[in-house]
Amino acid sequence: MDELPPSSRPSGRWSARPKRLVTRWLYGLALAPVLTSIIETGGRPKSPREWFTEMVVGLLIAALVRQVRKEHLAVLELSRSDALTGLGNRRAFTDALEDECARVRRSFKPLALIYIDLDHFKQVNDRDGHEKGDLVLRQLAAAIGDVVRTRIDGGFRVGGDEFVVILPGSTAAAAEAVLARIRQHCVGQGGAWGCAPLAISGGVAEFDGHEPADAFIRRADAAMYLRK
The residues annotated with a catalytic role in the active site are 161
Q: Mark out the alpha helices in 5-47 (DSSP H runs).
A: 32-41
Whether the CB-CB separation of 220 and 164 falls below 8 Å is answered with yes
Are β-strands 154-157 and 199-206 bridged in parallel, bridged antiparallel, or unpaired? unpaired
**Number of separate helices (H) and strands (E) present in the chain:** 7, 4
Q: How far apart are CA 122 and CA 124, in angstroms?
A: 5
Q: How far apart are CA 159 and CA 144, in angstroms?
A: 15
Q: Give the three-state DSSP class for 202.
A: strand
Torsion of CA 187, 13, 76, 135, to 10 degrees: 10
Q: Which run of H or of E encompasses 225? A: helix 213-226
Whether the CB-CB separation of 45 and 34 falls below 8 Å is answered with yes
The sign of the torsion formed by the CA atoms of 39, 45, 46, 50 equals positive
Q: ∠ at Cα 195 (190, 198), nearest 5°?
A: 100
